[in-house]
Amino acid sequence: MWNEPYLETCCRSALHRLTLVCAAGRPAGLKDGPCLERLAAMGLARLRGDGRFEITPAGEARHGSEILKLP
């Protein structure tokens, strides 16, 4: 049974971009800012002290299962 909150396509893309930027993080205020904030509220990302978003371990797991389709 599916028990995770649904991610809109734009939010899945934002989650994927977080994996691509690695430690550099994504700056706040970009076009995908609302998605990054939504991901942070879900615990899949976090806003660092320097104003950049980074992926969390929960976000990495969700990326693996939903975007990469890993078992």
Q: What is the pLDDT of residues 4-50, one digit of tens each?
A: 788 899 999 999 999 999 999 999 889 999 999 999 999 999 999 99
pTM recorded for the entire structure: 0.89
Reported as half-sphere exposure (CB side, CA atoms, 13 A), residue 11 has a value of 19
Q: Are 29 and 6 in contact (CB under 8 A)?
A: no
9-67 CATH fold: Arc Repressor Mutant, subunit A (1.10.10)
Per-residue DSSP letters for 60-71? HHHIIIIIS---
